[in-house]
Structure 1
Amino acid sequence: MSSLQVTSAVPSAAAASMSAAMASASASAVAEAAENYSLYGPMNPNIAFNSAMAAIFGILFILQALAGVWTRQWWMLVSFLCACALEVIGYVGRSLSHDNTSDLNDFLLQFICLTIAPVFTMAGLYYQLGKLVEIYGHAFALLKNPMLYSYIFIVCDWISLIIQAVGGGMSGNAAANYDDTSTGDHIFVAGLAFQVASMTMFLFLWFHLLYQIFVVTRMQHVGTTKVSISLFRIPQSEIDYKYRAKFESLRLHPQRWIFRYFPWALTVSVLLVYVRCIYRVIELAEGWNGNLITHEVYFIILDALMISLATTIMTVFYPGFAFKGRSVKIPIQKDTGAREASDDANAGADSPTEALFPTEKELSSPRPASNRSSSFHSS
């Protein structure tokens, strides 16, 4: 080899060595940056708060299990146990993230579990609407088969869950490979938006039922077409003849505070979950660097507080206690005039058509004047 060749080979080797060193340094820098990158942005999950929430949902899990088994409310039992278990796992994931905000597994654990847990919460609540239709009477409901309330909205929840799972999986894989997660994020937001839309429809049907049970019955009782505050001075026991006679003992003998306030407790619980779901849609629509997702205070108020309060309320006002689950069976069945009339006759009603509220004629017929509330003043 000539001196010229040797001389030219030295710079080439040096250049190759320098390129390899630079590539190695770049790979190390990328690895170090990835290791130090926070999946939570500037926010670090508060370990005290998240550990406390894991403990709270652990206690609620135990209470729900005891109440469900004792009162034999199997659907509610399974739904809320799944919800509480997911909440516990999610908050454990957030607690673990406190010491390592770049761990993708802990991040996905908390994100997926805490996002889908309310799907199971609502599955338990949907079923209670059908029971109230059975207790008060099918004529109050828009859907004459109360099970449709459960079927329709539980199917909607599962569709939402599947969409969220697909979107979450796509985002997780993209994040693991340091790729763009926008496609998976959009799918995830679409799943949450679908859940909010189905809950909106449920709330419409729910408030319609409450209006029929507690307002329209009082208007018919006193023979008025105006809604006024005076209507609500009429005791619930005075309008009970408008309801289904078969379950009169459940409503009145004795009058129990847990049953009396159960519809309102259920309403508050659904609204709390609704607020949380709207927050999640807005949070994810802002993106991973948005103001909501990078400030834990919003998560604490609009997610943790909402779901924990909803679960606590439905633990205090447990359906099995409200409906006397150990001694009273409430089969949810499609409305048939013959079946409901037979139920009322067997319950001791003077007349099947007078005991309940099954016909359009009775919907427009006020109670005789002698039975009206003396405290009512039409306005």
Structure 2
Amino acid sequence: MSSSFVFSSWVPTTIPTSTVLSSINPTHSVGLISTLTSATADMATATKLASLMHISQDIRGAQASLDIIMAQQVLATATVASVQSQATQAIFNATLNLKALEWDENAYGTDLSMAANVIFTVLFGIVFLVQTGLLTWSRFFYFGGCLFCGAGLEFAGYLTRSLAVNDTSDSDYFLCQIITLTIAPAFIMAGIYYLLAKLIVVHGHGRTFSMLKPIWYSYIFVICDVLSLVIQAIGGGMAAVAVIDFEDTDSGTHVMVAGIAFQVVSMTLFLFFWFDFLHRIYFKVNPNVSFTFHNVIALVNNGKRADDIRAQCEPYFDQNHAHLRHGKFFKWFPHVVTGSVLFIYIRCIYRVVELAQGWTGYLITHEVYVMTLDAMMVFFTCALLSIIHPVLFLGRDENLKLRISKKDIEADKSPDYEEGRSNEKENPFQ
């Protein structure tokens, strides 16, 4: 057999220090020749870029595989050292060709870590099961439903990534993971937004405790979340399909960035309302408690001084729900909400920066950032809301109305409220 084929073999532009040479069963020759012939014929009539790229990859892969089979046959019979060397070099080059082809077909632009993806698949699977049980037991159907969907989507996303580790070119896997992991935090935030409205009602309906009526927080931020979710899903689908079809991804990426940026803006607005609410219930409602750095740190630490501050403010709140505020875990409620929002906030900011760099940018092609700034942040939120579930603060049977009337607002003002307003005495919290 002539060894001239080695001189026309594909030559790599970079040479690795080591590699494992490929070996292909010669019985595959007939199928490879058929693929090569069919792909060559299709190339003459194909017009779409995606079709041309896929055909080109088929031709390249079939030719490299045939080179290996032919070189193996040469090695099996050759006795001349120079011929053996040429055949070995041909196998080496074809191996690198197949490896490069495999990398070109990698939709993720990086080698996925089986260990990391399996770990988060298991973690989100546990959270999903816990949230499923809590949804049934707590009867927090809206909040529980949001966390159920969010944790379920995260589980599906990392399960898909785990399956894709050995098949990074599978378009179905790629589309599934990018869409589920993009929209999952929107569901989680929809549940958290609802908690602000509940907390306002627990303290009182009046404007003393909030800039808006409780129900409006749900309206505003759930609508924002839905819009963000739809925009992200559309953009994610557009960009993912463009990646697979070898087309320009800019349009889909820009839509995705807009959706996530919109979510960041809505979360920023929520944080403004959230911290305004905390300022009102701890410092504005009671003139005897001053807004100082020392008092803020005391509330963050949640120690004895924080208990004293809350005791000073207690007479100004709706006494119908005093039993909830006096609950064993209630003082941790603001910390849980604040931590949950900040974790998702970090994740969303990371996603904006990541996608702004494009699908071949540094962040998206280094999986460590996905695992630490996305997966870990979302997991911390889900775990926090599973371990310290709102049912611990609000109880299973508590009926907190978000819609209010003037009668509800007037009922917020206990006799001690006006007395406190007119009795600004010296206080250790000044």
Please classify the TM superposition score into its range, dividing by the shorter chain length: 0.7 to 0.9
User: RMSD of aligned C-alpha atoms?
Assistant: 2.6
Selected match of 2:367 from 290, 296, 318:
296
Which moved further from structure 2: 234-243 or 78-87? 234-243
Contact 2:107–2:174 (8 Å) recurs in 1: yes
The equivalent residue for 2:234 is 166
The equivalent residue for 1:209 is 277
Shift of residue 23 of structure 1? 4.8
Taking a change above 3 Å as real, the CA distance of residues 227 and 307 of structure 1, as seen in their structure-2 partners, is same
Taking a change above 3 Å as real, the CA distance of residues 58 and 136 of structure 1, as seen in their structure-2 partners, is same
Gaps of 5+ in 2: 1-36, 45-51, 62-100, 299-304
The equivalent residue for 2:10 is none
Taking a change above 3 Å as real, the CA distance of residues 147 and 155 of structure 1, as seen in their structure-2 partners, is same
How many residue pairs end up in the alignment? 334
Contact 1:64–1:81 (8 Å) recurs in 2: yes
The equivalent residue for 2:148 is 81
Contact 2:347–2:378 (8 Å) recurs in 1: yes
The equivalent residue for 1:98 is 165
Selected match of 2:415 from 316, 335, 354:
354
Letter in 1 for 2:410: A
Selected match of 1:55 from 113, 116, 122:
122
Taking a change above 3 Å as real, the CA distance of residues 278 and 363 of structure 1, as seen in their structure-2 partners, is farther
1:341 to 2:410 alignment: yes
Matches within 5 A, 1:105-184: 105-138=172-205, 139-184=207-252
Taking a change above 3 Å as real, the CA distance of residues 368 and 288 of structure 1, as seen in their structure-2 partners, is closer
Contact 1:170–1:184 (8 Å) recurs in 2: yes
Deviations 1:291-350 (A, max 9, x none): 1000011111100110000111111221112111x232111123x4422334x5xxxxxx
Deviations 1:10-69 (A, max 9, x none): xxxxxxx9xx6795799753334488521121x211111111111111111121122222
Taking a change above 3 Å as real, the CA distance of residues 242 and 81 of structure 1, as seen in their structure-2 partners, is same
The equivalent residue for 1:277 is 348
Q: Look up the SS of the partner of 1:261 in the other structure.
A: helix
Letter in 1 for 2:397: S
Letter in 1 for 2:399: K
TM-score in terms of structure 1 length: 0.81
Letter in 2 for 1:192: I
Q: Distance in 2 between matches of 1:34 and 1:276?
A: 30
Q: Distance in 2 between matches of 1:286 and 1:228?
A: 39
1:227 to 2:297 alignment: no
Letter in 2 for 1:137: G
1:30 to 2:68 alignment: no
Deviations 1:175-198 (A, max 9, x none): 343221211111111111111111
Contact 1:125–1:266 (8 Å) recurs in 2: yes
Q: Distance in 2 between matches of 1:22 and 1:365?
A: 84
Contact 2:175–2:237 (8 Å) recurs in 1: no
The equivalent residue for 1:365 is 421
Shift of residue 72 of structure 1? 1.1
Contact 1:71–1:321 (8 Å) recurs in 2: no
Q: Distance in 1 between matches of 2:114 and 2:143?
A: 31
Contact 1:221–1:366 (8 Å) recurs in 2: no
Q: Look up the SS of the partner of 2:399 in the other structure.
A: coil
Contact 1:244–1:355 (8 Å) recurs in 2: no
Q: Distance in 2 between matches of 1:188 and 1:377?
A: 47
Q: Distance in 1 between matches of 2:370 and 2:123?
A: 16
The equivalent residue for 1:9 is none
Letter in 1 for 2:221: F
Q: Distance in 1 between matches of 2:228 and 2:53?
A: 42
Letter in 2 for 1:338: K
Q: Distance in 1 between matches of 2:390 and 2:42?
A: 67
Contact 1:140–1:209 (8 Å) recurs in 2: no
Deviations 1:50-97 (A, max 9, x none): 111111111111211222222210001110100011001100111111
Q: Distance in 1 between matches of 2:184 and 2:234?
A: 16
Among all aligned residue pairs of Structure 1 and Structure 2, give the percentage whose two residues are the same amino acid.
36
TM-score in terms of structure 2 length: 0.72
Q: Distance in 2 between matches of 1:321 and 1:134?
A: 16
Shift of residue 238 of structure 1? 3.1
Contact 2:346–2:377 (8 Å) recurs in 1: yes
The equivalent residue for 2:18 is none
The equivalent residue for 2:331 is 260
The equivalent residue for 1:332 is 402
Letter in 1 for 2:132: A
1:238 to 2:279 alignment: no
Q: Distance in 2 between matches of 1:148 and 1:62?
A: 31
Selected match of 1:320 from 391, 399, 402:
391
